[in-house]
């Protein structure tokens, strides 16, 4: 493998204050930062004549930065909530004052309804008091199948009632020009203002809020959108987001059309990204029951044991990769030695193989859409989630890419973080690749 390791300057993973415009409309807590995208847009020498792809675009960090700099971009995202957020963030053809005026009509309508219900839009109890032993029977609730999808106590009954009233008002005053902005603002408010959710390494439930405001924070979120749109102005730069599986990139993006890729795919761990966005996804109706959620998970790279299915075959693509096979074997041997027998623990080895097989499938299809000389940056991290067996994700993906005809130019160290279980230092890296051209396509992956 060619290429060495170098360290980026400014390796923090926080959203800088100067970057909050648009990015802060709705964002995964652990999204990679905009300044990292700018580093590689600059390093790759991209300009208005370039076209950038983010095949795992999440909430649109790469696309937003490209749009701000006048660079064309396209993203792929299968999580419907993240897809919606990305689509909204790259739109810049709206009159901000009209958006805010429409949102005020919705908020006033919802407020009148809440007053009729006898539920004002403000907390009625201190945050850390215990919730009432019972709730009024007429509070709105989710259908049982939808409610079962949520983490228990994700949101308390009174804030949920308010959220459903607001959502009904958004639907009642549906206007295509504003609708998606208003739904993204709803998702942000629901999660970060009105719910009981807490975000650390994983999403969980924090102290319960017996009550929380909904309409006020939602209107403030729309105001922030309008202010950002006013400051940034209109833009005609191409920016599109396609709903689809990054493993099928060659079916979703035009052949020989991409100058660069800047992305952060999932890592091989137990982070379920559909769980991270579950509350807002359910309330916005992206899936209504376990069957619909399962169908979504089948179209994602297998990065956790909650999305492994008997029909999966991506592991066959790394059957001859010696190091990946060694790691999977080590995980299984440790599981047996430790007497771990749960259904999820039994899948640790298999999900590791499926993850790297899925990424191999993605990289293989990606070759069809790249221009000769295209530059690629993949932000990935070491993992030790599976019984503390170390997985050097960046090195392994670089090896897979090289076997598929890519040139490995470098592996940059972005930052280090401490493993939750062991305290060991884990590397988060940016794998830098180059696609030399169609004459380098390799049809079979050799052992590595």
Containing structural domain, residue 419? 5-90+237-269+370-440
In a domain, 397, yes or no: yes
Domain co-membership, 215 together with 166 = yes
User: Which pairs count as long-range contacts for 114-119, CB under 8 Å and 24+ apart, including other chains?
Assistant: 114/162, 114/165, 114/215, 117/161, 117/165, 119/158, 119/161, 119/162
Rounded Cα distance, 395 and 225, in Å:
40
Q: What's the total number of domains in the chain? A: 2
In a domain, 365, yes or no: no
Domain co-membership, 66 together with 109 = no
Parts of the chain with a pLDDT under 70: 1-15, 29-30, 123-137, 201, 419-423, 438-448
Rounded Cα distance, 40 and 153, in Å:
41
The reported pLDDT for the residue numbered 438 is 53
The reported pLDDT for the residue numbered 123 is 60
Are the beta carbons of 372 and 437 closer than 8 angstroms? yes
Domain co-membership, 100 together with 86 = no
Domain stops at, among 171, 205, 232 = 232
In a domain, 332, yes or no: no
The reported pLDDT for the residue numbered 167 is 98
Q: List the strands of the sheet with 425-435, edge to edge.
A: 5-7, 407-418, 425-435, 370-381, 258-263, 51-54, 72-77, 239-243
Rounded Cα distance, 95 and 230, in Å:
8
Q: Which tokens sit at 41?
A: 């847009």
Domain stops at, among 176, 206, 232 = 232
Are the beta carbons of 180 and 88 closer than 8 angstroms? yes
Task: Tell me the CATH number at 10.
Answer: 3.40.50.150
Tokens 């924090």: give the residue: 206
Domain co-membership, 148 together with 105 = yes
Decide: helix, strand or coil at residue 407: strand
Rounded Cα distance, 270 and 448, in Å:
26
Domain stops at, among 232, 251, 279 = 232
The reported pLDDT for the residue numbered 211 is 93
Domain co-membership, 10 together with 109 = no
The reported pLDDT for the residue numbered 341 is 92
- C-beta neighbour count of 427 within 10 angstroms: 18
Going by C-alpha positions, the residue among 435, 441, 440 that lies closest to residue 370 is: 435
Domain co-membership, 102 together with 84 = no
In a domain, 299, yes or no: no
Domain co-membership, 43 together with 121 = no
pLDDT tens per residue, range 347-401? 999 999 999 999 999 999 999 999 999 999 999 999 988 999 999 999 999 999 9
Q: Cite the DSSP H helix spans in 31-76.
A: 34-43, 61-68
In a domain, 127, yes or no: yes
The reported pLDDT for the residue numbered 385 is 87
The reported pLDDT for the residue numbered 14 is 65
Domain co-membership, 250 together with 380 = yes
Q: What angle do CA 374, 397, 26 make, to 5 degrees?
A: 75
The reported pLDDT for the residue numbered 199 is 85
The reported pLDDT for the residue numbered 120 is 85
In a domain, 41, yes or no: yes
Domain co-membership, 159 together with 254 = no
Q: How far is CA 280 from CA 119, 149, 267, 303, in A?
A: 22, 11, 23, 22
Domain co-membership, 257 together with 392 = yes
In a domain, 396, yes or no: yes
Rounded Cα distance, 163 and 275, in Å:
19
Going by C-alpha positions, the residue among 369, 390, 371, 370 that lies closest to residue 381 is: 390
Domain co-membership, 263 together with 378 = yes
Domain co-membership, 135 together with 82 = no
In a domain, 212, yes or no: yes
């Amino acid at each position: 493998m060619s290429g060495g390791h170098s360290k980026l300057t400014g390796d923090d993973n926080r959203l800088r204050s100067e970057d909050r415009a648009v990015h802060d409309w709705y964002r995964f807590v652990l999204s990679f930062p905009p300044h990292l995208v700018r580093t590689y847009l600059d390093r790759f020498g991209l300009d208005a004549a370039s076209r950038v792809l983010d095949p795992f675009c999440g909430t649109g960090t790469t696309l937003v930065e490209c749009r701000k700099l006048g660079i064309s971009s396209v993203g792929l995202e299968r999580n419907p909530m993240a897809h919606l957020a990305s689509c909204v963030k790259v739109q810049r053809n709206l009159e901000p004052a009209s958006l805010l005026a429409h949102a005020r009509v919705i908020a006033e309508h919802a407020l009148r309804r809440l007053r009729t219900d006898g539920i004002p839009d403000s907390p009625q109890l201190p945050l850390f008091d215990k919730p009432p032993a019972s709730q009024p029977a007429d509070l709105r609730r989710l259908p049982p199948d939808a409610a079962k999808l949520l983490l228990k106590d994700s949101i308390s009954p009174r804030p949920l009632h308010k959220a459903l009233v607001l959502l009904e008002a958004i639907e009642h005053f549906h206007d295509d020009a504003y609708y998606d902005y208003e739904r993204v603002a709803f998702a942000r408010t629901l999660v970060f203002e009105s719910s009981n959710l807490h975000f650390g390494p994983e999403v969980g439930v924090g102290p319960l809020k017996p009550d929380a405001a909904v309409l006020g924070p939602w209107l403030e979120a729309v105001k922030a959108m309008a202010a950002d749109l006013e400051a940034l102005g209109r833009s005609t730069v191409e920016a599109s987001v396609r709903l689809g599986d990054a493993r099928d990139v060659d079916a979703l993006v035009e052949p020989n059309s991409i100058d660069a890729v800047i992305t952060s795919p999932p890592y091989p761990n137990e982070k379920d990204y559909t769980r991270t966005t579950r509350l807002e996804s359910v309330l916005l109706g992206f899936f209504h029951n376990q069957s619909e959620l399962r169908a979504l998970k089948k179209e994602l790279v297998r990065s956790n044991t909650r999305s492994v299915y008997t029909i999966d075959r991506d592991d066959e693509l790394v059957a001859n990769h010696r190091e990946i096979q060694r790691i999977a074997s080590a995980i299984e041997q440790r599981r047996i030695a430790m007497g771990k027998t749960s259904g999820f623990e039994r899948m640790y080895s298999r999900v590791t193989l499926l993850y790297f097989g899925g990424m191999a499938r993605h990289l293989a299809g990606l070759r069809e859409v790249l221009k000769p000389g295209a530059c690629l940056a993949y932000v990935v991290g070491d993992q030790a989630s599976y019984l503390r067996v170390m997985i050097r994700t960046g090195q392994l993906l670089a090896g897979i890419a090289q076997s598929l005809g890519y040139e490995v130019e470098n592996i940059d160290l972005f930052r280090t973080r401490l493993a939750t279980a062991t305290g060991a230092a884990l590397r988060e890296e940016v794998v830098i690749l180059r696609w030399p051209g169609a004459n380098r396509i390799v049809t079979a992956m050799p052992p590595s």
